[in-house]
Structure 1
Amino acid sequence: MTYLPSVGLSQLKYSLPARRTSVRELAVAGQLHSRPETLTAFGFESAYIAQDDELNPALAKSVHDLLASAQLSPSEIPLLIVATGSPAPSPAQDTPEALEQFHFRSARLQHEIGAHEARALELVGQGCGTFVSALDLAARYLTTSDYSHALVVAADARPPGASRDVIHNLMSDAAAAVLVSRRSPMLRIRGFYQQSQPYYWETATKREEVLASYFPMTVRVITQALTAFNVPAEALRWIVPHNVGVRSWELVCRALKFPLDRVWLENVARVGHTVSCDHVINLVDMRSRGAIAAGDLLLLFTFGFGASWTAMLVEA
């Protein structure tokens, strides 16, 4: 797929819950499967935990702020994609309460922000990789239509009281919004590459196999993606990661012979992994700290249960 050369991520916003809890506090509360020493050794320090319905109004505010920055009204958004990294439970059959489970976040957000003209949909099925796939779909939509913008959003939260670590990765709740624009002044999408291994669809029963395949597949997909993009690894200014443990990226970089200091890991300790929002959080913070210059090539990489490995090439 060849995108329009100017299609890119023109506006990015994220929101984290007010409550921030340390690894030690989570251990005391019984919200960890892993030993706290293991998580801190992997680079994690704290997680953000949403209270009640905190994320939904936070997401709506992020969208309002994003549209204000872009000087757009909600009526100018033709496509709204809500990327859901955590699948919802299936509606119960033949029960009076079944209708209560048909509660669509895309429709709620569309109503709350007043984007009544938008085609609103939810994308699910690639776990933590869903958001990057949604960015790709939005870019393709703009490339093959006359529309100027598409809005991609996400808000993921663990259930109240649930464990805060998944296979030794500390999880935060977060919301994020990205405006994908036909004529973006920055972060232009140059390529998308994905490999799926649906054999791992039943994650809970294949936990050890998923863990064993993660590292070789990550190295393979990054290598093959760069080949497909015709970009040598040394041309990358940054790998913008999903915020899994620092130890994981040490192993990947060693296999790739890629410098670890060119993987943006600044948010692993503070935020950890957020299911869908890691790349938005990282890109916003990288730009605010002056870590990205015009023309820099960035490789966004993520893995999602299901399982899929995904890379997107972006030019700052």
Structure 2
Amino acid sequence: MTTRAVVVGCGHYLPERIVENSEFEDSLDTTDEWIRSRSGIERRHFAAEGQTTSDMAARAARNALTQAGLEPGEIDAIIVATSTPDLTFPSAATMVQADLGMTSGFAFDVQAVCAGFVYALSTANALVLSGQARRVLVIGAETFSRIMDWDDRSTCVLFGDGAGAVILEAQEDAGTPQDRGILASDLNSDGRHRDILYVDGGVSTQSTGHLRMQGREVFRHAVEKLAATAEAALAKAGATADEIDWVVPHQANIRIIQGTAKKLGLGMDRVVVTVQDHGNTSAASIPLALSVGEARGQIKRGDLLVTEAIGGGLAWGAVVLRW
């Protein structure tokens, strides 16, 4: 028998404010058609004034706990993937822990920008397999609206806020690719490309900064690297692209999503797409898509999924799991 980290619950939270593309037309040289044609995005959600990343993360966590039929005290660890924490420290994860009323276990953040949830999922899997935790709450949450340059039409129209969460639980299975749970992961980074996607501020520079991106360069790296990491993770899992039921990608840009699916030899009918409604929510995008995909009836128990993402760093990776 083999221990697997199995998803036993998922949930998400989106702020109440919905921002349609047309809202940008009054302040920027852009149009709804321009945004849609280049990104596939139609709308996104923005956090309310005073609403924080940890608040959204806790709301998504509660929804995942409810679906799993678990109480906060039954969770051993919390990992929050975010690049937009409430404070420099303590971690957003410890704030979620307090919000949920947990007085035991441990909590910490992971920062790998848009690839953050993939990194967090892989880390949670390692905690389960090593026996350090039986149940891990893994959350992706972002308030990217706080770091936008509202005069830069190439970036500010792309991003949104939100949170998604999954709960992993240690379960025993046969040790084959037919097992439920995380079957394999593949993580990568290359700091030489830091200048194509970054925030031009931070604690040691004593400024908040804004997101900066060289869109064409990011696109060029994204399709190739996302397909390669997905294939590497599939090989580790002993599976092939033909066996995939759903690709659940980072929701950055519909053209990147389409290009990656094509490289994997998959039709878009096997890809969960939410970018039109959420925009790019960075580390929150994959867990949001997982939760929405399940709610839609697309993702079902026993389905083989591949999640893949790339973000600033550059950092990228993929996880293969059976739902």
What's the TM-score, normalizing by structure 1?
0.83
Query: Which consecutive residues of structure 2, in runs of 5 or more, have no partner in the other structure?
Result: 174-178, 199-212
* Pairing 1:224–2:232 present: yes
Equivalent in 33, 36, 40 of residue 37 of structure 1: 33
Aligned mates of 1:200, 1:214 — CA distance in 2: 12
Task: Name the counterpart of 1:233.
Answer: 241
Q: Offset at 1:189?
A: 0.9
* Pairing 1:194–2:193 present: no
Q: Which deviates more, 61-70 or 294-303?
A: 61-70
Amino acid at match of 2:278: V
* Pairing 1:48–2:36 present: no
Query: Residues 58-86 of structure 1: CA distance to partner in whole angstroms, max 9, x if unpaired?
Result: 43233234334434333332212121134
Amino acid at match of 1:114: G
Q: Which deviates more, 272-281 or 167-176?
A: 167-176
Per the alignment, in what secondary structure is the counterpart of residue 58 of structure 2?
helix
Query: Residues 142-195 of structure 1: CA distance to partner in whole angstroms, max 9, x if unpaired?
Result: 111163211122321124483477659721100222211113999611111122
Aligned mates of 2:312, 2:61 — CA distance in 1: 27
Task: Name the counterpart of 2:162.
Answer: 174
Task: Name the counterpart of 1:255.
Answer: 263
Distance 1:26 1:184, change over 3 A: farther
Runs of 4+ residues over 4 Å off in structure 1: 163-169, 184-187
Distance 1:146 1:252, change over 3 A: closer
Aligned mates of 1:62, 1:247 — CA distance in 2: 28
Equivalent in 103, 109, 125 of residue 139 of structure 1: 125
Aligned mates of 1:254, 1:65 — CA distance in 2: 34
Aligned mates of 1:80, 1:23 — CA distance in 2: 35
Paired residues in the alignment total: 299
Distance 1:225 1:120, change over 3 A: closer
Aligned mates of 1:204, 1:271 — CA distance in 2: 20
Task: Name the counterpart of 1:274.
Answer: 281
Task: Name the counterpart of 1:114.
Answer: 101
What's the TM-score, normalizing by structure 2?
0.81
Query: Which consecutive residues of structure 1, in runs of 5 or more, have no partner in the other structure?
Result: 89-99
* Pairing 1:157–2:140 present: no
Aligned mates of 1:25, 1:59 — CA distance in 2: 26
Task: Name the counterpart of 2:295.
Answer: 288
Q: Is the 8 A contact 1:20 1:47 kept in 2?
A: yes
Amino acid at match of 1:138: A
Distance 1:127 1:238, change over 3 A: same
Distance 1:163 1:60, change over 3 A: same
Aligned mates of 2:15, 2:72 — CA distance in 1: 25
User: Percent identity, aligned pairs only?
Assistant: 23
Q: Offset at 1:17?
A: 0.6
Distance 1:248 1:101, change over 3 A: closer
Distance 1:200 1:258, change over 3 A: same
Per the alignment, in what secondary structure is the counterpart of residue 221 of structure 2?
helix
Per the alignment, in what secondary structure is the counterpart of residue 10 of structure 2?
strand
Aligned mates of 1:28, 1:187 — CA distance in 2: 49
Q: Is the 8 A contact 2:148 2:155 kept in 1?
A: no
Q: Is the 8 A contact 1:154 1:177 kept in 2?
A: yes
Task: Name the counterpart of 1:94.
Answer: none
Aligned mates of 2:144, 2:156 — CA distance in 1: 15
Aligned mates of 1:272, 1:101 — CA distance in 2: 25
Q: Offset at 1:219?
A: 2.7
